[in-house]
Structure 1
Amino acid sequence: MKSILYISLADWCWIKQRPQHFCEIMSELNYEIEYFCKRPWRKIGKCLEGFRNNSSVKIIRQRILPYESRYRIIEKINNLIIRRKIKHMVKKKYEYIILTHPNQINFLTHNIIEENKIIYDCMDNYKELFKNNIYRSNLVPREKALINCTTKIVASSETIKENLIKAYGAKEQYIKVINNGVDLKNFNIDLHGKNAVLNNMNKKVGYIGTVSNWFDVDILKFAALKKPNIDFYVIGPIMQDCKIKLQVKNISNIYLAGAEDYRNLPIVLNNLDVAIMPFKLNKLIECVNPVKIYEYLAMNKPVVAVRYKETEKFKDLIYLYSNKEEFIEKLNKALSERVIYTSRRDYALKNSWEYRVKEFIKFIEE
């Protein structure tokens, strides 16, 4: 059995994302997976438990000091703690060590880098995650160093691949785009009927996912005021950098439902008439291959999403908009649908996380 150390940017206990899906499925394919992640000093929001106990993945959550993105000394202390931990772990030989963020290069000693196959699974334009100039100036050389020591690079979107080649001279033959996917076991329309989760007779429009500063609150407000007889739901954790609670507090048909257990998301989604993805376009979002669209399609929902390169791939299946007036136009079309389009579900069936992981394994083992 081949063993893999997956060093994840995402805490295992946070919202279920690509890293958790990849590791669970690799373990099902007879890989021995150790999932290493940082554990926040304090619990951030609601720790979602539902998906955690169905896997043979070994989970190592290392508690760290807070504010490392603000203070270099704290980052150094955290890196030292993690480096020692990983140095001890790597006494056991891994077939691959998978990194998911440029800063993780500091978790590995020179010997570990020299003696192991390093894979970079790049899921974001990390330079754009924070506006802190010190963070950016440190991240760029780290990402370059990481790329220089990797055996293979996997990018979750074509735009990320293009950025890595342009910014760092990454060699195209060692990079493969493996998009995100959908958990068909959970997002299965045949298993989830409608219920009273969203319990009135109004038409319901909803967004499911994290809410941060790239969420377009203005377009949500515009739509809610234009369509007072439609209920708008935002379902997911709200980050500290987003002031949506203040911005919508006087709008009676916008509901902030908070984080929901992963297992319940299909039930909530099935109660929506239209699913939306109202994002502000910036360099971060332009690199995102959106998981939520795959999930929306798996539940056969009409979808309205902002138009950019990664959503254009879905243009025959969803409604795309470029401004607030077009958002209302496309929302009206989605709300008035009378036909169930099985092509949406069919598309999702061909884009499962299982399929993505098989692509991933084939690429790193070539």
Structure 2
Amino acid sequence: MKKKALFATSNYWNSPFQVGTHHIAKELVKKGWEIAYVSAPISPIHRIFSPTKEFYDRYEVYKKGGEMHGDGQVWSYVPGALLTPNNKPILSSEFIYNNWNKLTYPNINKLIESKGFRKVDLLYFDNGLQNYLLDFIDCKKSVFRMADKNSGFSNHTNALGNAEAKLSQSVDRVLYTAHTLEEHVNSLGPKDTLYFPNGVNLDHFLQKQEQPIEYKSIDKPIVVYVGAIEEWFDFHLFNEMAKMMPDIAFVVIGPDQLAKEHIDDRENVHILGRRSYDQLPAYLQHANVGIIPFNVKDYAHLLDYVNPLKLYEYMVCGIPVVSTKWKELEYINSPAKLAENLEGFVEAIRETVQDTDKEKYISFAKKHSWTSRVDNLLKEVLE
């Protein structure tokens, strides 16, 4: 009989942000597992106040009762509820965090049971929103993977913190992605823990891709950023770099609302917006440097606990990485150049933009494949 896992996740299956949870699930699919992938819920309030493309993508999945992927091995679903947890008044209450699942339509528990996932080999969480599953799912083993210190986010609430603490104490093992998270995880009183950093999908990024059409008109070395563009992105640093290096093309890929507001309009700056996960290898393979320009000065309470997925994805494509320095990056001891200020960032880009030793970076990334990560997880948790 095939093994089964239920993933209680923050991001939906086809999100443009393919995070660690996605990759872990896909590695299990390769091993023949059947997966239920249940994301964070949506509500009518989202439709009224945040009618983004992402919301409508999730809404379509909800309306269809979920989607099947991977030759029927994966059922992905986005629950719909009358009210869902948020950092707004009333919605941030303990009551909503503990009871939103009772306001789902169709009832999420009944739907999960109808899909055959009431009993599973592995129950996996990456957030504290879906603790109701602890009392509903019959599982052999359960894990909570903590990828950030969530109290560092502006939308964090006390109720979410309490939910994460309860979850940490209830599952068989808490996985943490950064060395710097260990103390925080231990303070929550878990039964057991495992350091479980991010990795990289080698097959996806090593397969050679054609040059993106946008690159064909760029006659300068390309420095690329791919990922979330939120308040912790150092817009001042980025603008000053672009100003000081007009002979370098700076390409930005990701949600572009804040980028268009805060990044200066320059001839050597190209804001491309979102690209799908399938398109990313082409943009990375044909760039010269990958950058992680984060504002550690103002957001150390968040960034010091991050093990950046993009570092591995940049490197497996054979490009050097220049990043702002923070604690976890120093622990990783990768070939990335870590800069503490604007001058250091500019100098590091100047040094690496001509670096053609792709194998140095690819070799580092190959030591951190998702396949080896998941093999270790199964050995540690299920055996």
Residue of structure 1 equivalent to 2:182 = 161
Task: Judge conservation of contact 1:122–1:156 (CA < 8 Å) in 2.
Answer: yes
Distance 1:314 1:201, change over 3 A: farther
Distance 1:232 1:115, change over 3 A: closer
Distance 1:113 1:262, change over 3 A: closer
Instruction: Say if 2:239 is the partner of 1:208.
Output: no
**Which amino acid counterpart does residue 256 of structure 1 have in structure 2?**
I
Q: 2:344 pairs with 310, 326, 330, which one?
A: 326
Residue of structure 2 equivalent to 1:92 = 118
User: How far apart, in 2, do the equivalents of 1:16 and 1:65 lie?
Assistant: 27
Distance 1:150 1:82, change over 3 A: farther
Query: SS where residue 320 of structure 1 aligns?
Result: strand
Task: Judge conservation of contact 1:102–1:139 (CA < 8 Å) in 2.
Answer: yes
Task: Judge conservation of contact 1:87–1:108 (CA < 8 Å) in 2.
Answer: no
Gaps of 5+ in 2: 59-67
Task: Judge conservation of contact 2:120–2:137 (CA < 8 Å) in 1.
Answer: no
User: How far apart, in 1, do the equivalents of 2:53 and 2:247 lie?
Assistant: 31
Query: SS where residue 265 of structure 2 aligns?
Result: coil
Query: SS where residue 102 of structure 1 aligns?
Result: coil
Residue of structure 1 equivalent to 2:4 = 3
1:71 Cα offset (Å)? 3.9
1:145 Cα offset (Å)? 1.1
Identical positions, percent = 23
1:1-366 alignment, distance < 5 Å:
1-14=2-15, 15-38=17-40, 40=42, 41-42=46-47, 44-45=52-53, 53-54=69-70, 56-64=73-81, 68-69=85-86, 70-73=88-91, 75=96, 78-82=100-104, 84-86=107-109, 89-90=112-113, 92-105=118-131, 107-108=132-133, 111-112=135-136, 117-131=141-155, 135-165=156-186, 167-171=187-191, 174-188=192-206, 191-198=208-215, 199-238=217-256, 243-281=258-296, 282-337=300-355, 339-366=356-383
Residue of structure 1 equivalent to 2:65 = none
Task: Judge conservation of contact 1:232–1:254 (CA < 8 Å) in 2.
Answer: yes
**Which amino acid counterpart does residue 121 of structure 2 have in structure 1?**
E
User: How far apart, in 2, do the equivalents of 1:246 and 1:195 lie?
Assistant: 25
User: How far apart, in 1, do the equivalents of 2:382 and 2:20 lie?
Assistant: 20
What is the number of residues matched between the two proteins?
351
Gaps of 5+ in 1: none
Distance 1:123 1:316, change over 3 A: closer
Distance 1:29 1:223, change over 3 A: same
1:139 Cα offset (Å)? 2.1
**Which amino acid counterpart does residue 8 of structure 2 have in structure 1?**
I
Q: TM-score, normalised by structure 2?
A: 0.83
Distance 1:322 1:2, change over 3 A: same
Task: Judge conservation of contact 1:8–1:99 (CA < 8 Å) in 2.
Answer: yes
Q: TM-score, normalised by structure 1?
A: 0.87
Q: Mean alpha-carbon deviation: is it higher for 135-144 or for 303-312? A: 135-144
User: How far apart, in 2, do the equivalents of 1:63 and 1:137 lie?
Assistant: 23
User: How far apart, in 2, do the equivalents of 1:96 and 1:351 lie?
Assistant: 23
User: How far apart, in 1, do the equivalents of 2:330 and 2:140 lie?
Assistant: 38
